[in-house]
Structure 1
């Protein structure tokens, strides 16, 4: 019979494989969409008025890149999950100690 950890590892492996398949599918779709978009002529847009162009430039310099946002949020989630795991294990240890008394 499989242990709980073995079962959870198998489930995790399946989830990771599914995510990798989804990544490949999205990448292919994005590449195909880009090729399709490149083949469609786009009309020329009017020039952005100067005040809006300056505002856009000022804001874009101060905003983080999307990849920075993703990295920071996943790092935070990892830290929070680790702290939550440590707290839960500590509480289980404390609970197990009170049953022995």
Structure 2
């Protein structure tokens, strides 16, 4: 898993991920995201591009939930987009799609920033 790109758009941190989000990669994703979230009171939301993510396991789900908690504790929200069918099924079965916003595209995810 690689964090391919990070950028700030308005009050959102936008992160593009690639590969698999699993036990092996979840910590490196956290290490890429958390310092940015914790280092700026201006960033309240997290937008995650999952277009290139083809697999997610329980560790990946835990990473998403942990970032959701960090962001929601600050009054922000998490938006994901670009869900591949297999990833979308796992997120739906785990109930993640009920707590994070799922956008149809990057443009839709960033429309209000």
Query: So what's the TM-score if we normalise by structure 2?
Result: 0.21
Query: So what's the TM-score if we normalise by structure 1?
Result: 0.23
For the pair shown, the structure with the greater C-alpha radius of gyration is 1
- Select the structure that is richer in strand: 2
